[in-house]
Amino acid sequence: MNGTRPFEFSIVSGHVVDSIIRSNLAQVIDIIAETYLAHSASLTVNPTSVFLRFPEQPDARIIALPAHIGGREPISGLKWIASYPNNIERNMPRASAVLLLNDAETGYPFACLESSIVSAARTAASATLAARTLIRDRRNLKRIAFIGAGVIARYIADFLIGTHWSKSEVAIYDLNSGYSLQLVDHFVASGWSDTSIVSTAEAAVRDAQMVIFATTARSPYLLDPALFAQTDLILHISLRDLAPEVLLSANNILDDVDHCLTAETSPHLTERFSGNREFVTGTLADVLNGRIVLNDQRPTIFSPFGLGVLDVALGRFAYEQAQSSGRVVSVDDFFFERARWSRENYLRVNESTC
C-alpha cells in the first residue's frame, strides 16, 4: 500500500514541497524523464482534463487532472488547480492547487500536498529536460529569450540556473514591464548579469537561439516564421502564442499528441489549418528513445500540454521525502468509518450523539 498504513492521511505544506524540490532539481528532471518514458510505454492512465468555467468570470477556471502510474509501484492521484488571472492585480499568484495521492490497492487517499509548486516545478523541469534533449549545441547558445515573466518563467529560470547552464545573454519581454524587471533582477541576483528588458516580443525573439514562451495568451500573436530564422529551440510552454504557419515551418515535439491537439492550442489550430497531423514530428519520449531524427535545418518547437502523471510522479517524490524526514502533518482521525460493519463504528456514532 505505497508504504502507508491503512487510513493514514498526511498533509504536506508548500514550504516543505518547495524545500524538497529546490534541493533536488536534477533528480526532479530525471523523474519527469522517467514518467514521460512510462507514459510512452503505456504504463500510465492520463484522462482528458476537466475544465470548470464560470460565466461571470470567463478568464477564470479550475482544472481537474486525474492520473495513474502503473508498473512495480503503482499510484493514482488528482491535481485540482485554479487559474484566476485577476489575482495578479491583488499581487497574488494566478494559480493555486492541491494534489491528492491515492493508494493503488485500496483507492484510499493518503496525502494532500500544496501543489502550485509541484505544478510549476514539473512544468519547469519538463522545459529544462526538453532544452537539454532538443538543443543542438549548447555551446552555441548565445541568447535566450523569455516571452512572459511570471511565476512559470521564474521557475524555468531557477531550473536553468540550478542545473548549471552556461550564462547566456537573456532578453525578457512581458506586457507588464514591472514583471520583466523582476525577472531581470532574479537572473542578476543569481549571477546572470547579461540580462535585459526589450520592448517587443519580436525584439526578444530576434537572434535568440532558444525562446521560452510562458504567457497567458489566449490566441496566436506571432505569425511570421521568419522571426525564428536564428532559433534552434522554442519552448512553447503557454501553447497559444504561435500561428499555424510557424509550426508548419518547424519540427514539432509534443508531450502527448491527443492531449495537445485540443483546447484551441497552437498545435490544435495547426491541425485545423492543415487538415492533418503530419506536422507533428513526435513526442519528447520518442526523442529520448531515439525513435525520431529531427531536421536540423528547421527550428524545433516543444509544446507540452501538461500531463497529470507528471504531477503524481513529482508529488509522490515530494511526499516520500517529506515523510522520511518527518515533515508531514498527520491527521489521525481523518477517516471516520474504518470497517463496513463493526461495534467500534456503533460506539463512535453513539458517543458523538450523546
**Per-residue pLDDT tens digits for 276-290:** 999 999 999 999 999
Residue 128 lies in a domain: no
pTM of the model: 0.92
What residues form DSSP beta bridges with 173?
147
Asked if residue 210 belongs to a domain, the reply is yes
Within this chain, do residues 299 and 312 fall inside the same structural domain, yes or no?
Answer: no
**Cell (9 digits) for 342:** 463493526
Is residue 25 assigned to a domain?
A: yes
Alpha-carbon distance of 145 to 219, in angstroms, equals 20
Report the C-alpha gap between 110 and 22 in whole angstroms: 24
Q: Are residues 91 and 189 in the same domain?
A: no
Check if the beta carbon of residue 302 is closer than 8 Å to that of residue 233.
Answer: yes
Select from 213, 244, 250 the least CA-distant residue to 228.
250
22: containing domain: 10-118+308-344
Judgement on whether residues 198 and 239 belong to the same structural domain of the protein = yes
* Residue 228 neighbours by CB under 8 Å, 6+ apart: 205, 211, 234, 246, 249, 250, 299
**Pair (103, 165) in one structural domain:** no
Whichever domain contains 75, its CATH number is: 3.30.1780.10
- Residue pair 247/266 in contact by the 8 Å Cβ criterion: yes
* Residue 285 and residue 163 in one domain: yes
CA angle 112–118–123, rounded 5-degree value: 150
Same domain (yes/no): 153, 260: yes
Q: What is the pLDDT along the chain (354 residues), one digit of tens a residue?
A: 555 567 899 999 999 999 999 999 999 999 999 999 999 999 999 999 999 999 999 989 999 999 999 999 999 999 999 999 899 889 898 899 999 999 999 999 999 999 999 999 999 999 999 999 999 887 789 999 999 999 999 999 999 999 999 899 999 999 999 999 999 999 999 999 999 999 999 999 999 999 999 998 999 999 999 999 999 999 999 999 999 999 999 999 999 999 999 999 999 999 999 999 999 999 999 999 999 999 999 999 999 999 999 999 999 999 999 999 999 999 988 998 888 776 665 555 556 555
Q: Please state, in angstroms and rounded to a whole number, the distance separating the CA atoms of residues 61 and 51.
A: 7
Q: What is the pLDDT of residues 15-31, one digit of tens each?
A: 999 999 999 999 999 99
Indicate whether 161 belongs to any domain: yes
Backbone region of residue 200 per phi and psi (left: phi > 0; alpha: psi in -120 to 50; beta: other values): beta
Q: What is the CATH number for 183?
A: 3.40.50.720
145 shares a domain with 14: no
Residue 194: inside a domain:
yes
Q: Where are the alpha helices (DSSP H) in 1-111?
A: 14-22, 25-40
User: Where are any strands of DSSP class E within 238-299?
Assistant: 251-254, 282-283
Contacts (Cβ under 8 Å, ≥6 apart) of 101: 2, 75, 76, 77, 109, 110, 111, 112, 113, 312, 315, 316, 319
Over the stretch 215-266, which tens digit does the pLDDT of each residue have? 989 999 999 999 999 999 999 999 999 999 999 999 999 999 999 999 999 9
Helix/strand/coil for 198: coil
Contact 135, 165 (CB under 8 A): no
- Domains in the chain: how many in total? 2
- Are 211 and 246 within one domain? yes
Specify whether 292 is located in the same domain as 324. no
**Is 129 within a domain?**
no
The answer on 299 and 316 residing in a single domain is no
**Residues 81/90, Cβ–Cβ less than 8 Å:** no
How far apart CA 69 and CA 44 sit, in angstroms, is 4
User: Do residues 298 and 313 share a domain?
Assistant: no
Sheet strand arrangement including 210-213: 195-197, 169-173, 143-147, 210-213, 233-236, 300-303, 251-254, 282-283
222 lies in the same domain as 179: yes
- Residue 126 falls inside a structural domain: no
